[in-house]
Amino acid sequence: TTFDIVIRNGIIVTATDKYTADIGINGSKIVDIGFDLKGHETIDATGLLVLPGGIDGHCHIEQEEADGTIHEDDFVSATGSALLGGTTTVVCFASHVPGRGLVEQFDAYREKGGNSRIDFAIHQIITRTDEQTIRDEIPVVAERGAAGLKVFMTYDDFHLTDGQFLQVLEAARKSDIIVSVHCENYDAIRHLILQHLAEGRTEPHGHATSRPPAVEREATYRAMTMSELVDQKIQIFHVSCPEVAEEIARAQSRDVKVVAETCPHYLTLTEDDLKRDGFEGTKYICSPPLRTKAAQDGMWQYLRSGVISIISSDHCGYTFDGAVGKGRHGRDADFSLIPNGMPGLGTRLPVFYDAAINGRKIDLTDFVRLTATTPAQRYGLYPEKGTIAPGSDADLVLWDPKKSVTITNALFQSNIDYTPYEGRQVQGWPVKVFQRGVLAMENGTVIAQPGTGRFLRSRRG
């Protein structure tokens, strides 16, 4: 037989194996893996790694906030930068702002995703626990294929009390849907922020000192306790430091149903970045905050042991100079008024690869497991997504392990006007990306058009 496309002689990496072979693609699917395969079109991948398309399980794209603002990275822009960085699937967030029902917001967000260049799944945020939301609407969004629910234990507009969190967990258990949690102690942060402001400590670094590891560790412990009480699976989002990971390991060892995610920035940036001159430090304001070099070093053992099992970007598109970005309250605003979050969709794989593989922290198979396979499994997208096998979607990244790149924001062609990694040199870069058998990115040029992406309904359970 002659395949539509053959990717020849690349080093194929999955979560379990690494071997050299040819991949035969027909239409949108991988149909064979073998030797000397014949194709109408042949792509020589000699010297390149062939990875499953990256799956970014936590991205804020075109998300509406309670104050009416919309994240400045929209589906077209964000998914272009995703492709430039080797990601072919995003899991992004439908909001739950006041005044409109949950199902209405889920459906409207899915519609917005019609502009996506890559396939997408949806987490549904839950910010209130009225009867309509809990009893009527959570089952409907679960049924419509939401990948998970997200709740916040902090942020003025979002945080749930412990009682409300328990209500969400009960509803999630009935609908068999995972609940991801932003764990920071709301009252403790309020207390520390007020203290900082009273002392005149308004500079960006106050963001880090007003949300110390204990604030995150306590909330994580409390969230896991609730999970244990209800016997409902949760995921701790964006674990920032080993103090928190240690708490998760302890809960896992007594069989609490808890899994965890971290992000490249907690492994590569530190709280010192918040001390950059003037307003520059605000580029590094995210929650939980960046930690110390020692915390970074301590995180790797939890990635190796599987306590933390997913690497996501927590991409959050706030510009440095735009009207609703970091400077929305002026250049002299105190740290508590700066929107939280950093862009990271495009840089997720190159930055993590460089730190993890060139830094000799984990194996290539671990890299694929953390950035593609486990996210696909956790969100009910596997095995169409997240691996390289006959029957899987032909979402493939040809990755040049020798290519050195100095990161600069222009590479990602995004609406966001900065990257926290500006000037960082990394080795290892995606040179070609296929989505469902179609070339979607080549050598820094986005090919996939807006609207080529599809909504992925999560198959849970």
Binding site for ligand URP (CB under 6 A): 60, 182, 238, 286-287, 314, 316, 340-341
Least distance from ligand URP to the Cβ atom of residue 91, Å? 12
Tokens standing for residue 217:
């560790």
Q: Which is nearer to ligand URP, 181 or 448 (CB)?
A: 181
Residues that bind Zn ion in the complex, under the rule CB under 5 A: 182, 314
For residues 312-326, one letter each, b for 16 or more C-beta atoms within 10 angstroms of the residue's C-beta and e for the rest, the string is bbbbbbbbbeeebbb
- Which residue's entry shows tokens 């998914």? 79
Least distance from Zn ion to the Cβ atom of residue 28, Å? 30
Listing DSSP states for 185-203 in one string gives: -HHHHHHHHHHHHHTT--S
286 binds, among Zn ion, ligand URP, none (CB under 5 to 8 A by kind): ligand URP
Angle at 342 between CA 341 and CA 346, to 5 degrees: 140
Q: At what angle do helices 213-230 and 186-198 cross, to 10 degrees?
A: 160
Q: Which is nearer to ligand URP, 113 or 339 (CB)?
A: 339
Q: Which is nearer to ligand URP, 164 or 340 (CB)?
A: 340
The helix (run of H) or strand (run of E) holding residue 226 is helix 213-230
**Residues belonging to the chain:** 461
Q: Which is nearer to Zn ion, 83 or 219 (CB)?
A: 219
Q: Which is nearer to ligand URP, 341 or 383 (CB)?
A: 341
Least distance from Zn ion to the Cβ atom of residue 288, Å? 8
Q: Which is nearer to Zn ion, 326 or 361 (CB)?
A: 326
49 binds, among ligand URP, Zn ion, none (CB under 5 to 8 A by kind): none
Angle at 272 between CA 271 and CA 274, to 5 degrees: 70
Tokens standing for residue 112:
């917005």
CB 2 within 8 A of CB 37: no
Q: Which is nearer to Zn ion, 211 or 432 (CB)?
A: 211
Q: Measured between alpha carbons, how far is 24 from 8 in angstroms, rounded to an integer? A: 9
Residue from 225, 158, 333 nearest 149 by CA: 158
Least distance from ligand URP to the Cβ atom of residue 61, Å? 11
Least distance from ligand URP to the Cβ atom of residue 264, Å? 13
CA dihedral 110, 111, 115, 120 (to 10 degrees): 10
Least distance from Zn ion to the Cβ atom of residue 179, Å? 13
Least distance from ligand URP to the Cβ atom of residue 340, Å? 3
340 binds, among Zn ion, ligand URP, none (CB under 5 to 8 A by kind): ligand URP
Q: Measured between alpha carbons, how far is 227 from 174 in angstroms, rounded to an integer? A: 14
The helix (run of H) or strand (run of E) holding residue 120 is strand 119-125
Least distance from Zn ion to the Cβ atom of residue 237, Å? 5
Q: Which is nearer to Zn ion, 182 or 369 (CB)?
A: 182
224 binds, among Zn ion, ligand URP, none (CB under 5 to 8 A by kind): none
326 binds, among ligand URP, Zn ion, none (CB under 5 to 8 A by kind): none
- Which residue's entry shows tokens 């309904």? 457
